[in-house]
Amino acid sequence: MVSSGQLRELGFGKGGVEVRLRQGRLHRVHRGVYAVGHARLGFRGRLWAAVLACGGRERCALSHRAAAAAWDLMPQPAGVLDLITLRSGGGTAALRVHRSRMLRPSRDVVRQPDGLPVTSVAWTLVDLAGVLEAHRLSRVCHRAQILRLLDVAAVRTLLETSPTGARALRVALAGLAANGPDVTRSELEERFLALIETFGLPRPRTNVVVHGYEVDFLWPDARLVAETDGAATHLTPRAFEQDRQRDAALLRAGFRVLRFTWRGVTERSGETAATLGALLSAPRAPNR
């Protein structure tokens, strides 16, 4: 990923850039931002492209859902990416730019190991409190706690000057301390749907009944079923046995069944997407 300013520093004028665009050696991602060699961008590449489009890492930081995804607190957003800056700046159809005079870069912006600038976890949680539903905010706080990223004191300090969403975030933190997170089986399903969107796969039907069994995800045309297996609900001996009986019944009815764990969805998302893509694109013999 490279910006037009970086290209100028390397001695490439406007004409040289245009030549490389025509040759396919550069690919425009945003105005003044180019991918080098190919146009396929992973999520990290999308984040870097957004930062460069907003003036570079000295002028902005990823925020809101984009920052949460960079911290692995939420699924990767498939649409608009949020950034924050101390300076004025306009957004685009793909980028939403926020401006805050309260932002203190030395405290509120963190450079991740590859140099990517993101808002601190505390600032990110305060931002999210203004845009997320209560149960999702609770889950993000829980995730931050699991990853040992949650600094409650830092969050409370920021809440003193940020009224938007303050009550919701205080309630989420209090509930986390008293009762644990409001996390249900739907979180894994939401992560799975986010994976589907991120990798551009056909969207399945959800929680439908197939041959008397409720399944998590169904692609009817491909006769493909996907189940997301959370340990709490699927790994007891009884549930394990029932799942296998159901899989066998669906197989007899002509449906292929895939099962994905939390790690398969969150840590091996590319592998999971490749498996789904191969099966969804493969021709199916008529069901007899």
Count of domains in the chain? Answer: 2
We report the CATH number of the domain holding residue 231 as 3.40.960.10
226 lies in some domain: yes
24 lies in some domain: yes
257 lies in some domain: yes
Contacts of 257 (CB under 8 A, 6+ apart): 225, 226, 227, 247, 250, 251
Q: pTM of this prediction?
A: 0.59
- Write down the pLDDT at residue 153: 93
131 lies in some domain: no
- Write down the pLDDT at residue 184: 45
| Mean pLDDT, contiguous 10-residue spans, the chain (288 residues) | 72 73 73 74 87 86 96 88 80 84 91 95 95 86 86 92 83 75 63 89 88 90 90 55 88 94 88 96 65
204 lies in some domain: yes
244 lies in some domain: yes
Structural domain harbouring 18:
1-40
